[in-house]
Amino acid sequence: MSDTCKFKIDGKEIIAKKGQTILEAAKENGVFIPTLCNFTGVKPKGSCRICSVKINDRFMTSCTTPVAAGMEVESNTEEISDLRKSIIELLFVSGNHFCPSCEKSGNCELQALGYRYQMMVPRFPYSFDKKNVVATGPKLLKDQDRCIKCQRCMKTIKDDEGKRYYAFKNRGRDLEVVMDEEMSKTITDELAKEAMENCPVGSIIYKGVGFSEPIGTRKYDKQPIGSLIETN
Amino acid sequence: MSKKIIATTSLAGCFGCHMSILDIDERILDLVELVEFNKSPIDDIKVFTKQCDIGIIEGGCCNSENIEVLKYFRENCDILISLGECAIMGGLPAMRNGIPIEECLHEAYLDGPTVKLNTQKILPNDSELPMLLNEVYPCHEIVKIDYFLPGCAPRADLIWDALVALITGNEMDLPYEVVKFD
Amino acid sequence: MKEKIKAILEKYQIDATRLIDILHEVMDEFGFISAETITLLSNDLRISEAQVKETISFYHFFSDKPRAKYNVFLNNSITSCLRGFEHVKEAFEIESGVKFGNVSEDGLIGLYVTSCIGMNDQGPAAIINDKIFTNLTPYRAKEIIKGIKQGKKVEELIYEANGDGNNAHPLMNTMIINNIRRKSLLLDDNYEKFEVTKNLISKYSPQEIIQIVEESNLRGRGGAGFPTGLKWKFGSKMPGEHRVIICNADEGEPGTFKDRVILTQYNDLVFEGMVIAAYATAADMGVLYLRYEYRYMLEFLNSQLDYMRNNNLLGNSINGIKDFNFDIRIQLGAGAYICGEESALIESMEGKRGEPRDKPPFPVERGYLNYPTIVNNVETLASAVRIIKNGAEWYKTFGTSDSLGTKLLSVSGDCRFPGIYEVEWGVSIKEVLDMAGAENVQAVQVGGPSGTLVNVQDKENHSKTDLMKWYKPSGMMASRKAYDRKISYSDMATGGSIIIFNKSRDILHDVVMNFMDFFIEESCGSCSTCRNLPYIMKQKLLKIINGHGVREDIDDLLNWGKIIKVSRCGLGQTAANPILSSILNFRHLYEEHVKAMTDYDNQFELADSVSAANSFVGRKFIHHNS
C-alpha cells in the first residue's frame, strides 16, 4: 500500500502523505492557506476558522482535517476568500488593534493577512471594548486589546512539568487569555522571548527592547504573508 | 476633461496624512493639472465655494466640531474618502475609547503629571470650545464614506494611485507595499 | 481547610480529570473557590493556577468569589419572559435590595440570572440553593426574600405541595410537576422494570442487539438524528482498553424539558438503555452527565443506581452474564449549555472547559480519556429498551417511513396545556397546536433558538431571494403551508422543543433578541466567529428595532449569518438562526422597521454623545449648526 495519496485543491493536484492534514499537504505543495491559530509542532485546534475550506459543500478547517484520496477541496474561491477576509475583519473590530502604536506592526500575522486580503475597512462596527494590559510580571506584558485568542501561547509555553503559563479565562465574548501570575514571576528569559515570538499578534510583549526593526525591513513590509510557501 | 474639485480636512488627526499628500513630491505638479482644490488647509480656503467632486477626510471624530465639519463635507462633496487610520478606525485618539470620558478629563486637566500649572483646576468649558464626544468615532460611523485609504500615514503612492484612478476612472492596481496600517 | 481540600482531592485520586467533581465539593464545603484553594489544587493536581481558574471561570455555577448564603438563580429563557420574568426579577431586587449579578453586603442573598433550567412549562422558575421554585410571581418572589431574611431554611420557603409522581419521592421533594399530556410507547407505564436486562438480553448476542436497533432505524433524539445502531456498531468495533457509554442528560436547549420528565418517571429505562448499549458494544464504563440545573434529582437517581447494583443489574457479571461488567456514575455538570454537545460534554467530564473538539476524530473513535465513547441522548436510550423488548418490526408500526417511532415534544409558551407530548413522528405543526390548546398563534419556534421560527400564518413558508439559497434549515420544503409542516427527519427534525407565540408577542424585540442573548451568553468563545458575531448581529438587530435600520442592514444580517456557519460546533453554526430564521419567515417585520427613504443611518445623536463630557465640565449642549 502506498503511503501517499492524491487529492485536489481548487483543481490543482496535491500529493500528500497519508495522515497529513489538508493544510500540511497544501503547504508542501506550494498552496497557501491562511492560518492564525495553527502552530507547527502542536496539535491544531481549529479555533480561528480562517483556514476553512469547502469539501463536498461543507466547511472544514484544513488544519484539523486529514487528507483523503480523491477529495476535492475548494480554498481560493471568491466565497472562501471573502469569508477569510470577514474573519480577519471580525478579529480587528473585536479587539483594539491600533497598528501604528503596536510593536509587532510589520511582523504581525493578523495585520499581514489584512494586507493580503486587502482589508481597507472592516465591514463590522468597531467594538472599542475596554480591555486591560497586565504588565506586572518582570519579563512579559499581556495586552488584551490585541489578543485574538489563538491559544498558541497556551499550547507552546509550558514548564518542565507541562504546566501552562497561559490559560483561558471566562467564556464567550468575555474570553481572555491570561498569564499565570505566579509562574510569570519566574519565567526564563528564553521562554519569555519564545512567548512573544509565538504570539501571532502583539499581545505578548517582551519587556526591555522595542521597535528594534526599522520600517521597511520587517517581515511583511515587502512580501505578503504566504509568499514563501508559494515560491517553494 | 474638466478639472475635478477636491476638498480636504483634518479632524481628530495629526496632519500626518496631509503631509503624506504633499509627499507625492514632483507629482504635485501633475496633480495640479488634474484637480482644483477648494476648501482645504492646503490653500486655506475656509468654506466651500462650490460643490466638490472629492472630499478627503483625515482624522476621526472626537468632538462636536469634527461632526459638524464632517457633515459639512458630506453635504458638499460627491465622494468622501477616509484617509488614514484615524479616519478609518479612530486611530490613536480612539485609544481613549472604553475609558469613561470623566476619567480622561480628570487625567488631562486635574490629576495628570503635566497639569501642575492648572492650579485653579479649570476645565475646558468655554462655550466657544467644541464639546467632547463620549468616544472617538470612525468617520463612516457618522456619515457615509465611499472609499478608504489606510495607513499611518497612508503612503504617498497609495494616495496618488487612488486619486488618479478616481479622477481618470481607471482601475486601481495597488502594489503590495502601499497598503499598510502603520 | 488544608485537610478538607486534601480529603476532597484524595476522594478523586488527585486526578485533574476529575476537576469538575473536585470543584463541586469545594463549592459545597466553602461556598466558593478561594485563591488559597486554587493554589492548593494547582500544587497537588500539577496544573497551573491559571488552568484551575480556566475551568472555574467557564461554568456558571462555580465562583472564585464568595457567593451568598442563599443564591437565587432566576431563569431568563423566553417562556419565562412571556410569563412575567421582568416583574419577578424586579420583585426580587426590590425586596432584597440587591441587584441581579450581586451578593448583598451581609452575604445573605445573591441574585443571578441563568439560562434555561428546563422548567419552561412552569416558569418563571428559579433555583435557590439547588431547590427548584416554579411558577414564580412577584408576590412569591417577595415572600421568598422575606423568608430568607427571617432566617428560614430553603425547605421552609416552599410555597407549593410536592409535584406529581416521583417529584414527591422523599429524595426529590420538589414542587415540580411532570405535565405529561400524551403518552405512547415510551411513556407507557405498563411494563416490568429492568425486564429486558433480566430476561432478554442474554438471548441475543451483542451483534444481534445492534442489528435490532439498526433495523428499528432509531435515531438520536437529542436533535441531530444520527442513527443509533450505526453509532453502537462503530463504537463496538473501535479498539480500546475501555469503552464508554455516556448518557447525555445535559438538555439545555431552551424550551426542552423532556429529559427532566424521563429522568423523573422513567429513569430505569434510561439506565437500562445504558446497560443494553454497554452489552451491545462491550463497554465497561457508564456515565450519566446530568446538567447542574437538575441536581435536585441527583440523590434520587443515585438511589436507583444503588438498587441496580444491589440487584446485579450493574456491576460485575450483570445478571449472571459472564464478563459483562458495567457500572454507571453520575457526572454533574456545572452550568454550560455547550456541554450538551457531545465532545464538549466529554471535555467537561475530563475536568476542562466545555469546548467542543474538532472532528474527526469522533467520540466513537476517541472520546472520554481517549477511549471509544458512545454518547446517547436520554430519550434515545429509553427508546432502545422498548425496541429490544418489542422488536424492530413493532417499532416500525409507529411514525412515518422516514422517521420511525415516537418523539417527546416539550411544548411551552402561549398555550393552555404546556407539557410533554409523546407523538408519533410525522405529526404536523397544526396538530401539535391543537393538542396544546393554542389559539391566536403567530409563530412557533421548533427546535429551540437554534431551530426554526415557523410563521403559521404564512401561505408560502419562505421568501425566495437569492440570498436565501445557502440557508437551508433542516429539510426546508418549498411552498408548503407552514401549518402543515411535519415533525420528521425529512421536514423538521428537532430535539423536541416547541415554543408557541401568540399574536400579542413582539417577535423581534421579545423573541429574537432573547434568543440572541442566549447564544451570546452560552458561546464557549473558542471560534472567532461564534465568539464575536452573535453580539455584532444583535447590535444590528437592535439598530433596526430602534428605527435606525436601512434596507442594507437586513442584507448585512443575512450575509453575516453565513460567516458563522464555519464555526466548529452546532451551537456556533446555528447561533445566527434566530435572526436568519426570522428574516426568512417574518421578513415583513424587518421591512416595517427599516427606513425606506434613506440608505444610510448611523444612529449617532450628538446631544447624547456629548452629554457625559458636558456634565463633567459643567456646560450645556448647544447646537452649533442651527
Mark yes or no for CB contact C525/A178 under 8 Å.
no
Of A93, A165, A173, the CB nearest to C531: A173
Q: A4-76: what fold? A: Ubiquitin-like (UB roll) (3.10.20)
**Residue-wise pLDDT tens digits, C314-343:** 999 999 999 999 999 999 999 999 999 999
Q: Which three cell numbers stand for residue B108?
A: 488631562
Q: For residue B165, tell me if it sits in a domain.
A: yes
Q: For residue B60, tell me if it sits in a domain.
A: yes
- ipTM metric: 0.96
How many domains are there within chain B?
1
Q: For residue B127, tell me if it sits in a domain.
A: no
Task: Using alpha carbons, select from A88, A116, A149, A136 the residue that is nearest to residue A230.
Answer: A116
Region B100-121 average pLDDT: 90
Q: Does A130 touch chain B (CB under 8 A)?
A: yes
CB A56 within 8 A of CB A8: no
Of A96, A100, A115, the CB nearest to B85: A100
- A160-199 residues touching C, CB cutoff 8 A: 161-175, 178-183
pLDDT of residue C463: 47
Quote the DSSP letter at residue B150. -
Q: For residue B129, tell me if it sits in a domain.
A: no
Task: Report which secondary-structure segment, H or E, holds A141.
Answer: strand A140-143
- CA dihedral in degrees (A127, A130, A136, A139; nearest 10)? 20
Q: For residue B72, tell me if it sits in a domain.
A: yes
Coil, helix or strand at residue B52: strand
pLDDT of residue C474: 42
Ranges of H-type helices in B8-155: 16-22, 27-34, 64-76, 85-89, 101-105
Print burial letters for C208-238: b (CB count within 10 Å at least 16), e (below 16): ebbbbbbbbbbbbbbbebbebbebbbbbbeb
Residue C155 buriedness (CB in 10 A; 0-12 / 13-18 / 19+): exposed
Beta strands in C380-461 (DSSP E): 406-413, 419-424, 441-446, 452-455
Q: For residue B117, tell me if it sits in a domain.
A: no
Q: Does B134 touch chain C (CB under 8 A)?
A: yes
CB A10 within 8 A of CB A73: yes
CATH no. for residue B153?
A: 3.40.50.700
Residue C539 has phi, psi (to 5 degrees) of -60, -40
Residue A229 and residue C20: Cα distance in Å, rounded?
Answer: 44
Mark yes or no for CB contact A100/B180 under 8 Å.
no
Sequence-separated (6 or more) residues with CB below 8 Å from residue C174 = C131, C132, C162, C163, C167, C296
Residue A104 and residue C61: Cα distance in Å, rounded?
Answer: 39
Low-confidence ranges of chain C (pLDDT < 50): 460-479, 626
Q: For residue B89, tell me if it sits in a domain.
A: yes
pLDDT of residue C493: 87
Q: Which chains touch C (3 or more CB pairs under 8 A)?
A: A, B
**Residue-wise pLDDT tens digits, C336-374:** 999 999 999 999 999 999 999 999 999 999 999 999 999
**Residue-wise pLDDT tens digits, C591-624:** 999 988 888 998 999 999 999 999 999 998 877 5
Q: Cα distance from C608 to chain B (closest Cα, Å)?
A: 8
Chain C residues inside the 8 Å CB shell of B123: 616-618
Handedness of CA C137, C444, C115, C162 (dihedral sign): positive
Q: Cα distance from C537 to chain B (closest Cα, Å)?
A: 16
Chain B residues inside the 8 Å CB shell of C611: 134
Chain A residues inside the 8 Å CB shell of C51: 163-164, 167, 180
Q: Does A91 touch chain B (CB under 8 A)?
A: no
Task: Report which secondary-structure segment, H or E, holds C180.
Answer: strand C180-182
Q: Does C567 touch chain A (CB under 8 A)?
A: yes
Beta strands in C425-540 (DSSP E): 441-446, 452-455, 497-502
Helix axes C228-237, C206-216, angle to 10 degrees: 150
Mark yes or no for CB contact A49/C46 under 8 Å.
no
The structural domains of chain C, ordered by start, are: 2-56 (no CATH), 70-160 (3.40.30.10), 182-395 (3.40.50.11540), 408-500 (3.10.20.600), 506-626 (1.20.1440.230)
Q: Which domain holds residue B14?
A: 4-97+134-178
**Residue-wise pLDDT tens digits, A160-213:** 999 999 999 999 999 999 999 999 999 999 999 999 999 999 999 999 988 999
Q: Cα distance from A106 to chain B (closest Cα, Å)?
A: 8
Coil, helix or strand at residue B10: strand
Quick check: B172 pLDDT over 90?
Answer: no
Low-confidence ranges of chain A (pLDDT < 70): 1, 232
Q: Does A107 touch chain B (CB under 8 A)?
A: no
Q: Where are the domains of chain A?
A: 4-76, 85-206
Q: For residue B24, tell me if it sits in a domain.
A: yes
CB B133 within 8 A of CB C609: yes
Quick check: B73 pLDDT over 60?
Answer: yes
Q: What does the angle CA C202 – CA C206 – CA C210 come to, to the nearest 5 degrees? A: 120
Of B67, B127, B144, the CB nearest to C619: B127
Chain A, chain B: beta-carbon pairs less than 8 Å apart: 73
